[in-house]
Structure 1
Amino acid sequence: MPTLGQNQYGKAETRVVRVTRDGATHHLEDLKVSVALSGDMDEVHYSGSNAAVLTTDATKNTVFAFAKEHGIGSPERFGILLARHFTESQPTLTRARIRLESYAWERVPTPGEGDHSFLRDGRGIRTAQVTHDTEDGWEVLSGLTGVTVLNTTHSEFHGFLRDRYTTLAETRDRVLATDVTALWRHRWAGPAEDRDWNASHAAARRHLLDAFARTYSYSLQQTLYGMGARVIDHRPEIDEIRLSLPNKHHFLADLTPFGMENDTEDGAVYFAADRPYGLIEATVLRDGATARIPIDATNL
């Protein structure tokens, strides 16, 4: 008889928006929450018995109820509250994984009208993943995705391998652009830990962007390592960071058919290619730490 392997179930992509009113000033929190639960689920697969199953509808309702009763505060905090609840309230559930996306909004100034108007922030999406296993303990990943950055210079690419299919020309001055997707793993000191998740995330994001801007790049791989290393060097609560950086190619447009030169000195015109694109991915670890973020985690 075939044997059941790893399995999980839950409710995906529950969208919860919380509005807190502080007089005329309103505060907006906007999350997408996906819950995956595992445990003693053999019989529901073998015989269809639902005796051990907490309904996915209940997990959705829990997200809304917890947002009202406990507030959100940060994706990490909210994920910890949910994961602890599911694994501690149901004996058949031994593992809960909560994935969260947080959408930032900025205020639209409305003098004299109250602070209640918002514009969706276009600086990327904040992500988090919280996992609690009753045997293996806690894991908290924070991250971001869709953060587009570009350097107009201080980037070269030359000295690479060549074979019969190589056509790419070497360059000593190029545009370097990418969409940053990153996940970093926090050192965990127990479920009672009181960490300022928002400050930690803001600092890690700042170091990633600062390293991108300050690195004189001879390859996107070098830039990636510089970004990850800067986070590890400056944030002692982070042991591992995984980065996925697509190379958003910008090629000088060929204007010779029109009798025009197009160089990088002044007024250069580029064709921003959509696809295919190079994809550079790697993990940067604190010395002595063990890699635990899966190779494809940033693409989930």
Structure 2
Amino acid sequence: MNEFEGLNIEQRHGKARVRVARVWRSKQGRHFMVEWNVSISLLSDCINAYLQDDNSDIVATDTMKNTVYAKAKECSNQVSVEEFAIQLAKHFVSYYRQVTSAIVNIVEKPWERVHIDGQPHEHGFKLGSERHTTEVIVQKSGALQITSGVEGLAVLKTTKSGFEGFIRDKYTVLPDTRERILATEVTGSWRYSYESVFNIPQKSLYFTERYLDVKKVLMDTFFGCPKEGVYSPSVQSTLYQMAKVVLSRFHDVSSVKLKMPNLHFLPLNLSTKDNIIVKFEDDVYLPTDEPHGSIEASLSHIPSKM
């Protein structure tokens, strides 16, 4: 924060929505590809641009855009979205003396390899659904924050869900039930415990594997075992169980945040004023997401007092 003419000034600048795709080709002829949407924000000492009409300390946002393309080209081996974000952020804080911190947000578009007649295609891809996200903050000292996540993870189960025993008042018309569809679109994020660019895992594509593992745990906990499933007494309870299992399963995850809107499937009866023409029997529903319930929570480990 800077002070000038009796005012406090906080500032940052960057480049948003820089789209880049990268293709890697193995010696065996198989292609691998990613598509990233990159946003960069720099905290830097360029206050004179605001106060003195002096741009000499500004890293141009067009330069930031070009840096994304150049750094993607430098990645001769396949990298995770987290690794690329770290490389970008490290470049800005080390290359420019004015830059004290770099914040890089990336959303990975879900291109997935197609399978033809049960065989993986060498260079064919289809667009999936949920998106892999990351936010990386690197300071000039090397201090690091990594948060990864998933957006648009749509899940639904047609039974093993209920909602009862909630507060009832004169405005309450929702009946208690132990039989309903549970559907949501999970937006989740998890903070890694790595605090320096010098102690991150060196294993290739480590964060990509971790993303897939966390996503699998979230889904497995939501659905339960294939035959019996698992009963959900509320979205809140299911959200808590999902986050708790992630924290207990992965030693390098320090906190989890989940947002799970309750996407409603309303039971349908066809009726007139005098009689029911078609009676609902847990089989015909009206899908709707407006309005929907909004449920979110964060879980984190309690720091040791030792």
Q: CA deviation at 1:256?
A: 3.1
* TM-score, normalising length: structure 1: 0.89
Between 1:102-111 and 1:160-169, the stretch displaced more is 102-111
Partner of 1:120: 127
The one-character-per-residue Cα deviations of 1:211-240 (angstroms, maximum 9, x if unpaired) are 111242111111111110010010001000
Q: Letter of the aligned partner of 2:17 in structure 1?
A: E
- The answer to whether structure 1 residue 187 and structure 2 residue 198 are counterparts is no
The number of aligned residues is: 285
Q: CA deviation at 1:45?
A: 1.5
Q: CA deviation at 1:3?
A: 2.1
- How far apart, CA to CA, are the structure 1 residues paired with 2:9 and 2:232? 45
Partner of 2:61: 56
Q: Structure 2 vs 1, CA of residues 62 and 25 (structure 1 numbering), >3 Å: closer, same or farther?
A: same
Partner of 1:17: 21
Q: Structure 2 vs 1, CA of residues 226 and 109 (structure 1 numbering), >3 Å: closer, same or farther?
A: closer
Paired residues of 1:38 and 1:93 also in contact (CA < 8 A): yes
Structure 2 residue corresponding to 1:236, chosen from 251, 276, 282: 251
- How far apart, CA to CA, are the structure 2 residues paired with 1:77 and 1:273? 39
- How far apart, CA to CA, are the structure 2 residues paired with 1:249 and 1:126? 25
Paired residues of 1:109 and 1:115 also in contact (CA < 8 A): no
- How far apart, CA to CA, are the structure 1 residues paired with 2:236 and 2:295? 6
- How far apart, CA to CA, are the structure 1 residues paired with 2:103 and 2:60? 16
Paired residues of 2:145 and 2:195 also in contact (CA < 8 A): no
- How far apart, CA to CA, are the structure 2 residues paired with 1:84 and 1:57? 18
In the alignment, structure 1 segments of 5+ residues that lack a partner are: 290-300
Partner of 1:101: 107
Overall identity of the aligned pairs, in %: 33
- How far apart, CA to CA, are the structure 2 residues paired with 1:241 and 1:80? 21
- The answer to whether structure 1 residue 69 and structure 2 residue 84 are counterparts is no
CA RMSD of aligned residues (A): 2.1
Partner of 2:277: 259
- How far apart, CA to CA, are the structure 2 residues paired with 1:235 and 1:6? 37
- How far apart, CA to CA, are the structure 1 residues paired with 2:8 and 2:60? 20
The one-character-per-residue Cα deviations of 1:112-133 (angstroms, maximum 9, x if unpaired) are 9x722221122x0000000012
- How far apart, CA to CA, are the structure 2 residues paired with 1:280 and 1:48? 47
SS at structure 2 position matched to 1:173: coil
Paired residues of 2:142 and 2:197 also in contact (CA < 8 A): no
Structure 1 residue corresponding to 2:164, chosen from 135, 158, 162: 158
- How far apart, CA to CA, are the structure 1 residues paired with 2:295 and 2:243? 13
Q: Letter of the aligned partner of 1:194 in structure 2?
A: P
User: Is the strand fraction higher in 1 or 2?
Assistant: 2
In the alignment, structure 2 segments of 5+ residues that lack a partner are: 225-229
Paired residues of 1:110 and 1:117 also in contact (CA < 8 A): no
Structure 1 residue corresponding to 2:292, chosen from 268, 277, 292: 277
Q: CA deviation at 1:276?
A: 1.0
Q: Letter of the aligned partner of 1:128 in structure 2?
A: T
Q: Letter of the aligned partner of 1:50 in structure 2?
A: N
- How far apart, CA to CA, are the structure 1 residues paired with 2:83 and 2:302? 27
Q: CA deviation at 1:109?
A: 4.2
* TM-score, normalising length: structure 2: 0.87
Paired residues of 1:4 and 1:42 also in contact (CA < 8 A): no
Partner of 1:137: 143
Partner of 1:294: none
The one-character-per-residue Cα deviations of 1:3-38 (angstroms, maximum 9, x if unpaired) are 243321111011110112235322111111100001
- The answer to whether structure 1 residue 39 and structure 2 residue 44 are counterparts is yes
